[in-house]
């Protein structure tokens, strides 16, 4: 396990230092909340990506049902989106949810085109 020197500790890192979980036995993996959460986060990101990287909560609710057959409560989805934003997975602007990864891919493509 990696030791973090005193003075370099960041509270936002707590819960994100687990790393790759492939080596863990299923008895441990089944108890980890981060695995359950990651599955839902992945589905939300897929829906947003299908909507060209930008969506509001109504579109995500409909997309989660159509793409993943999930009926979600609006309040639960709203809380989940807020958590994803806090973890740096999403960015919101005026109530519209933006997938940061999609935005990053577009920026990278623009930089690559400039180099050509």
In whole angstroms, what is the distance from residue 58 CA to residue 56 CA? 6
Per-residue pLDDT band at 92 (split at 50, 70, 90): confident
From edge to edge, which strands make up the β-sheet containing 96-99?
A: 54-55, 96-99, 90-93
Extract the tokens encoding 88: 């740096």
Task: State how far the Cα of 109 lies from the Cα of 18, in Å rounded to an integer.
Answer: 31
**Averaged pLDDT of the chain:** 78
Q: How far apart are the first and last CA of the chain?
A: 43
Query: Where do the domains of the chain lie, and which CATH numbers do they carry?
Result: 11-115 (1.10.10.10)
Q: State pLDDT tens for residues 15-52.
A: 567 777 778 888 887 787 666 557 888 899 889 988 88
Q: Pick the closest to residue 97 from 115, 83, 113 (CA basis).
A: 83
**pTM of the predicted model as reported, rounded to 2 decimal places:** 0.60
What is the structure's pLDDT at 2? 56
């Amino acid at each position: 396990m990696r030791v973090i020197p005193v003075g370099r500790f960041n509270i936002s890192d707590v819960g994100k230092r687990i790393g790759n979980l492939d080596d863990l036995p299923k008895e441990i993996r089944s108890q980890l909340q981060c695995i359950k959460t990651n599955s839902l986060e992945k589905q939300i990101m897929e829906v947003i990506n299908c909507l060209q990287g930008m969506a509001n909560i109504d579109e995500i609710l409909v997309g989660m049902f159509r793409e993943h057959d999930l009926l979600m409560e609006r309040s639960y989805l709203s809380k989940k989106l807020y958590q994803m934003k806090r973890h740096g997975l999403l960015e919101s602007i005026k109530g519209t949810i933006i997938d940061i990864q999609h935005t990053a891919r577009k920026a990278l493509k623009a930089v690559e085109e400039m180099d050509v």
